[in-house]
Amino acid sequence: MLAGAGHAHALVLRALVRQPMPGVEVVVISPEPLAPYSGMVPGWLSGHYRFDEIAIDFPPLAAAAGARWCRDEIHALDPARRQLRLADGSTLDYDVLSLNVGSTLQPPPAEHAQMLPLRPLAMLHRRYENLLERWARAPADRPFVVTAVGGGAAGFEALLAVLTRLRALRPDHPVHGSLLTRGTRLLPGLAPAARRAAQRALDRAGVTVQFGSGWCTSVDRSDVVLWATGAEAHGWQRDPARRGSLAVDEQGFVRIDELLRSVSHPQVFATGDCASWSGQALPKAGVHAVRMGPVLAGNLRAALRVPAAAGDLRVHRPQRHFLALLATGDGRAIASRGPFGAEGAWAWRLKDCIDRRFLQQFVATQATPPNASQPAKTLNPLADVSARHSGESP
């Protein structure tokens, strides 16, 4: 059971196209068919890409892998019974479960401002289209105010991208931007040169930055608030009654070991934002889910004892340093790795090339027919992907 349409699960399905698992039924569950690639979201927000250009289409990818796709999401989990309760009330049994459900955000209620939380990514498309429709009708009698709350990469990139898009659509209508962060500096963890480049990008866009500041009544007077604070676990992960005996950290993220397995239930794997890495805190960034994907694919195969498995489960070793490329919405990007930072149009071209190449592998995969000549058999009887309905609490 693959719950969630994250980057790691896309790589698992790609691996299944290349090397099927005979005798295993694979079911993919996600609330939306199109899963946006996080690295290209700022380019879509700014108008550089269409949404379909940045998204992985999971139904055809699952079909190419010989898997079944189900449009739903987790409501509750009973790891002792190996059961999932879905939002539509149905219950699914599993032998091995993999969680790649990402994270969410719970912004405070606002009386005036339109709140635009940047997670979950699958819901961002509809919310942003609503914002653009509102922008097209907004009277030009006063400046339109966009505020980002959160001083990390998501808030920085999203604010610059949205300002670029709104100004391009209506050059006659002034737009003011501001960024609020509780921290004392912008983009902590990036190289000093990269942080200075980020401040220059904000200056070019006319953005005011407030440090040591968060949500307050004055922010609610903005027209739009881009909510980009720290990632939060989904409701079922935070609720003991809905997650059962699954081990989670203080914030509700699934605690995993170096094999990407739950520390409490070895039949459950978790990757990406929804997981909590033992021993060190990993940033909630798509690069980590991408790096986990090949290890997860091999370990799921090994956990199911498929004959083609290459033996023991593999250990995942997170990268200490990786190249961060932040789009600034003006045809430029900022590059940062370890202590080194730089900016320029070349960095945007590099980012665009890397991101397009990553997505292209799934477009090519969807066009490839599944290698399995026989339909998959179930290990745990599932009569249909719609599942059986049960009145019991999981």
At residue 388, the pLDDT reads 34
> pTM of this prediction?
0.88
Residue 186: closest CA among 222, 148, 218, 232: 148
At residue 368, the pLDDT reads 52
At residue 381, the pLDDT reads 34
At residue 356, the pLDDT reads 95
At residue 269, the pLDDT reads 97
User: How does the average pLDDT of the chain come out, rounded?
Assistant: 87
At residue 316, the pLDDT reads 83
Residue 119 to residue 209: CA distance in whole angstroms = 22
At residue 377, the pLDDT reads 34
CA 359, 154, 324, 319 torsion-angle sign: negative
Tens-digit pLDDT profile for the chain (394 aa)? 999 999 999 999 999 999 999 889 999 999 999 999 999 999 999 999 999 999 999 999 999 999 999 999 999 999 999 999 999 999 999 999 999 999 999 988 888 889 999 988 878 999 999 999 999 998 888 999 999 999 899 999 999 999 999 999 999 999 999 999 988 889 988 999 999 999 999 999 999 999 987 666 668 789 999 999 888 999 999 999 999 999 999 999 999 999 999 999 999 999 999 999 876 666 656 676 788 889 999 999 999 875 545 467 888 887 777 889 999 999 999 999 999 999 999 999 999 999 999 999 988 666 554 443 333 333 333 333 333 333 333 3
At residue 327, the pLDDT reads 97
Token pair in block for residue 5:
């349409």
pLDDT in tens, 301-360: 999 875 545 467 888 887 777 889 999 999 999 999 999 999 999 999 999 999 999 999
